[in-house]
Amino acid sequence: MLLLTVDEQSLEPIYRQIVAQIRDKIAGRVLLPGERLPSTRRLADQLGIHRSTVATAYQELWALGFIDLSPGSRPRVRDRMQFATAADRGDKGLVDWQTVVSPASEAVWRTYRRLDPLGKESTPALINFASMNMDSRLFPLESFRACLDRAVKNHGDALLGYGARAGFPPLREYIARRLQSHGISVTADEILITNGSQQGIDLVFRMIAAPGKTVAIESPTYDYVLPLLRFYGLRPVEIPIRQGGMDLGALAAAIAQERPVLVYTMPTFQNPTGISTGQAHRERLLSLCEQHRIPILEDGFEEEMKYSGRVVLPIKSMDKRQLVIYCGTFSKVLFPGARVGWLAAEKECVERLVAIHRFSELAPSMILQAAIHEFCQSGHYDRHIGRMHRAYRKRMQTAVRALSRHIDPAWAEWTEPSGGFLIWLKLKPAPHPPPDWKTLLAAHGVEATTGGSFFYGETPDTYLRLSISPLNEEEITEGVRRLAAALRQAHHPD
Amino acid sequence: MLLLTVDEQSLEPIYRQIVAQIRDKIAGRVLLPGERLPSTRRLADQLGIHRSTVATAYQELWALGFIDLSPGSRPRVRDRMQFATAADRGDKGLVDWQTVVSPASEAVWRTYRRLDPLGKESTPALINFASMNMDSRLFPLESFRACLDRAVKNHGDALLGYGARAGFPPLREYIARRLQSHGISVTADEILITNGSQQGIDLVFRMIAAPGKTVAIESPTYDYVLPLLRFYGLRPVEIPIRQGGMDLGALAAAIAQERPVLVYTMPTFQNPTGISTGQAHRERLLSLCEQHRIPILEDGFEEEMKYSGRVVLPIKSMDKRQLVIYCGTFSKVLFPGARVGWLAAEKECVERLVAIHRFSELAPSMILQAAIHEFCQSGHYDRHIGRMHRAYRKRMQTAVRALSRHIDPAWAEWTEPSGGFLIWLKLKPAPHPPPDWKTLLAAHGVEATTGGSFFYGETPDTYLRLSISPLNEEEITEGVRRLAAALRQAHHPD
């Protein structure tokens, strides 16, 4: 006889008490596979409960796979496949993922493990010139919190659905107006909201990727673009970057030889070099691409951070023939965690990108977009940009002054950028260059990004990229002092 | 002589007044390319202002490309490339996007235009059985708003950076605990937060996609998965779905012949059929895949919506050998606009997916994740699920009752699902089937999704998928009445 008890005072429903006890008996091998359980009538009588309660318990045990039910016969204990517990999982499962994934995916995985990914825990004691995070001390979080709350209050239910495919319409309207202040004339339906500008770049690459296609890129370029190109099987054609920007003679030659399907460029505060091109360079680049009908992906990731006063307008501002896909972001002014960026391009191009985005993740979340829109349209965004300009103008001056004071010209050279957050140090040959700059820098209490990751081919690490974005003046000054000590050691070890 | 005026009372800085006037004169062809402007000294004297103000204006005009500057000579008006205005943009730019994009991307674009995308404006007068949006009338928006506010207040700055690569750690912890209630034992580091479950599926496909690879799918299957497979060049092997789930005999044969690299399945409330498989089917499917070391992508998109009482646990709950990649979402319980889903898989697999995600969009936004975590851990999530179960149990009963009452068995057949939102109608041959069901339904004031989009090959639209997710009981009853009227017309036109 099956010994079960029920407690009618318990909060646990009676049928669940029965399920739990029978499960335990099966797990404890008190009930063995093949054994019969009592009929519903019999068990109900025995426990003094309603027959339907037993039936419910048996249904649940059947659904969970512990018993077999067949009409007209008593339930039978099943030889159920066991639950997987934490203890079951060894270090390695059955699947050899390397054989399952694509070669491109395997390569990205290897790159990922080699690079220091963004978001890596940095050692608090080190002064961090490697991070591109913004200094959150400058961000008016309380105002943003109020905007977030107001956005949900005002738009309510409208934010709960999948929402507009290309993004929250009022934010697209705002961005279109905002772009006008950079000389760009586009309408809201030429704008697609993305999860940061990185997703914009990813979508453009996904749209064009096919075997044998090439993309012209600046060399060096943004380190996170290189693994993406590799992943999508797009072959990069590296165009060297000079003091004035991408070498346009080299680009013309590359166009003739390699027929790139896209030119990727950061004309303003290029990452990693900090170089901005002049008006004439932008015109020549646009003319060259117009002549060959090659779309340009213009990455304006730090467009808003022109704090030096001299404003060169984006290439997109002259784009009558609609071959420029412009990508922008709120990450480099507000905060990276916003994950809101945008693409502005010919309407057909935007719609093609929407189609890819649609099937790959349906739509961007409306709530953050509505909050950012609230922040922008209530004037907080403009005020914040003003604050950022004042702060970073001083910080960049501090950085350049400290570099001039502490770094011997025999150790490194650099150019003062007219905005943004990046300084690119070209290291001079040292009599005893360290095998690993990262280690030497860490030993002196400072972090920076070594140059190799910004080149497609293997390149000796003869550059350092300094980002001042997360640091205040005091930290910058101390950081440069530590950097100088590391360079001194490479040049004058004793 | 260059005629300019300055207004020292104006809010506009003087240098900007000069810039604006010279720009206007160039635009109006008062100043022609090649013409010389006065020296800074001369113009400063003329206007009675400081020379450096003129120099600043000239610097800005140079940066904007309106003049050339060279040391020792007067500025010269440049033949600047003009701004692109809205009027310049015709319907078509210079680029023929069809030649730029990949064939896969072209195909997705064509599919996108053919399908009715989610988020499409639906005609308010129609009763909408096509949308998978949740009924936002059930969502406790005020509680969520408070959680959002509290999350930003409590976590503050920590939400502003790029954040943890695989998602907000406390939310990953919560999901791991929550999955235990579905019998799944995983740790937080086996979880990757995604922008809805669609992005989870996209990432898995991207991880494996390589020419010649095949994926076994149920037929019919989730319509948004088919274009993705096509986009990534993955060839689907269609396994027919029977009353009890995917035909495992057919799957075994397909594995032998086609060597799929992945099996994609929705064991619970399958989309579009609403079918749930039993425990025994799940065990056999898992054993079969273990035997051939083929990973399973288990889509548990409506796992939480088991309101019938009988609970079959996910395949992942038995996954000792770690070949199941489980994907889940908050969209089908909270609201789709949340765009928060997750993947749970072997740690190495999660890390490989993080690598792809990292380069394609850096990281998911922390703010919404923190808000959802706050909503979950403060008990709102459980209460909301309870509310949803009660509501949809009644709504599904209402739907099934209305179907039985109004739809003649000669017109269509269907099975009552034990949860979720979907009912799959198999239409019987009609003497005068409409050339287009969508049009006939719309004429009767109702919308539903026709079956063709759920099959990979071309299939006559002999199915309708009804989603009750956005509708209350009254709307469901009226909707079924209208549907019946449409079917009646197809069978008895007069």
A106 within a domain of the structure (yes/no): no
What is the C-alpha separation between B488 and B408, in angstroms, rounded?
Answer: 8
Residue range B147-170, pLDDT digits in tens: 999 999 999 888 988 888 899 999
| pLDDT higher than 70, residue A164 | yes
Q: Do B309 and B195 sit in the same domain of this protein? A: yes
B204 and B130 together in one domain: no
Is residue B121 scored above 60 in pLDDT? no
Q: Which domain holds residue A36?
A: 14-77
Burial of A48 (0-12, 13-18, 19+ CB in 10 A): exposed
Q: A114 vs chain B: nearest CA distance in angstroms?
A: 11
Q: Which amino acid is at B477?
A: T
At A268-323, the pLDDT tens digits run 999 999 999 999 999 999 999 999 999 999 999 999 999 876 778 999 999 999 99
Local confidence band at A147 (pLDDT 50, 70, 90 cut-offs):
very high
**B49 domain-assigned:** yes
- Average pLDDT of chain A is 92
Q: What ipTM was assigned to the predicted interfaces of this complex?
A: 0.91
Nearest beta carbon to residue B231 from set A111, A148, A359: A359
Q: What pLDDT, on a 0 to 100 scale, did the predictor assign at position B92?
A: 84
Work out the average pLDDT over B27-39: 91
pLDDT, residue A118, reads 44
Of residues B192, B342, B366, B196, the one with CA closest to residue A331: B366
Q: Considering the domain boundaries, does residue B235 fall inside one?
A: yes
Chain A residues closer than 8 Å to B63 by CB = 278-279, 310-312
pLDDT band at B119 (very low <50, low <70, confident <90, very high): very low
At residue B194's C-alpha, the angle toward residues B192 and B199, to 5°, is: 125
**B462 falls within a domain:** yes
The pLDDT, as a whole number, for residue B82 is 86
Residues of chain A above pLDDT 70, percent: 98
Domain boundary among A382, A409, A430: A382
| Backbone φ, ψ for residue B191 (5° rounding) | -120, 135
Last residue of a domain, one of B353, B381, B409: B381
The verdict on a CB contact (< 8 Å) between A351 and B80 is no
Alpha-carbon gap, residue A193 to A304, rounded angstroms: 17
CATH of the domain at A432: 3.90.1150.10
Q: Is pLDDT of A116 > 60?
A: no
> How far B432 CA lies from chain A's nearest CA (Å)?
35
Question: How far B65 CA lies from chain A's nearest CA (Å)?
Answer: 5
Same domain, A282 and A313: yes
In degrees, to the nearest 5, what angle opens at C-alpha A271 toward C-alphas A265 and A273?
A: 105
More confident residue, B324 or B438: B324
Report the pLDDT value the prediction gives residue A309, as an integer from 0 to 100. 65
Of A87-96, A301-310, A388-397, which has the strongest mean pLDDT? Answer: A388-397
- pLDDT-based confidence at A337, cuts 50/70/90? confident
Q: Select from B61, B68, B92, B101 the residue whose CB has the most chain A CBs within 10 Å, as the one to mutate to test that interface.
A: B101
Instruction: Say if CB A451 and CB A464 are below 8 A apart.
Output: yes
**What pLDDT does A435 receive?**
78
pLDDT band at B11 (very low <50, low <70, confident <90, very high): confident
Whether residues A331 and A284 share a domain: the answer is yes
Kindly state the average pLDDT of the residues B73-87. Answer: 89
Question: What pLDDT, on a 0 to 100 scale, did the predictor assign at position B112?
Answer: 86
Same domain, A269 and A408: no
**Residues B355 and A102 sit within 8 Å (Cβ to Cβ):** no
Backbone φ and ψ of A412, nearest 5°? -165, 160
Secondary structure (3-state) at A193: strand
C-alpha–C-alpha distance, residues A276 and A266, integer Å: 8
Q: Does A297 fall in a domain? A: yes
> Is A223:A462 a contact under the CB 8 Å cutoff?
no
Asked whether residue B420 is assigned to any structural domain, the reply reads yes
In a domain, B28, yes or no: yes
Say which of A133, A183, A207 has its CB closest to residue B162. A133
- Considering B332-346, B353-367, B394-408, the range whose residues carry the highest mean pLDDT is B394-408
Q: Which pLDDT band, with edges at 50, 70 and 90, does B118 fall under?
A: very low
d(CA A335, CA A148): 14
Say which CATH number the domain at A162 has.
Answer: 3.40.640.10
- Between residues B418 and A239, which one has the greater pLDDT? A239
A119: pLDDT strictly greater than 50? no
A62 with A193, same domain: the answer is no
Looking at the structure, do residues B214 and B295 belong to the same domain, yes or no?
yes
Stretch among A87-101, B118-132, B409-423 having the lowest mean pLDDT: B118-132
Strand partners, B217: B238, B264
Mean pLDDT score of chain B: 92
pLDDT above 70 for B271? yes
The answer to whether residues A295 and A354 belong to one domain is yes
Chain A: nearest CA to B29, how far in angstroms? 19
> How does residue B472 score in pLDDT terms, banded at 50, 70 and 90?
very high
What is the rounded average pLDDT of the residues B370-382?
A: 96
Q: Please say whether the beta carbons of B389 and B307 come within 8 A.
A: yes
Residue B493 clears pLDDT 80, i.e. is over it: no
- Which residues in chain A are contacts of B362 at CB distance < 8 A? 118-119, 196, 198, 224, 336, 339
Contacts of residue A285, Cβ cutoff 8 Å, sequence gap at least 6: A245, A246, A248, A251, A263, A265, A267, A277, A296, A315
Residues B317, B229 share a domain: yes
Task: Count how many domains chain A has.
Answer: 3
Between the CA of residue B115 and those of B104, B438, B448, B452, what are the distances in Å? Answer: 16, 12, 13, 10
Domain assignment of residue A283, yes or no: yes
Say yes or no: B231 and B299 in one domain: yes
B236 and B153 in one domain?
Answer: yes
Tell me the mean pLDDT in the region A239-264.
96
Q: What's the token pair of residue A50?
A: 């309603």
Task: Tell me the pLDDT tens digit for each residue of B299-332.
Answer: 999 999 988 767 789 999 999 999 999 999 998 8
Instruction: Provide the token pair at B39.
Output: 């020296």
For residue A341, give the nearest of A169, A194, A201, A173 by alpha carbon. Answer: A194
Residues A48-57 have pLDDT tens digits of 999 999 999 9
User: What pLDDT score does B133 carry?
Assistant: 87
Domain boundary pick from B381, B401, B428: B381
The answer to whether residues B292 and B342 belong to one domain is yes
Question: What mean pLDDT comes out for the span B374-389?
Answer: 95
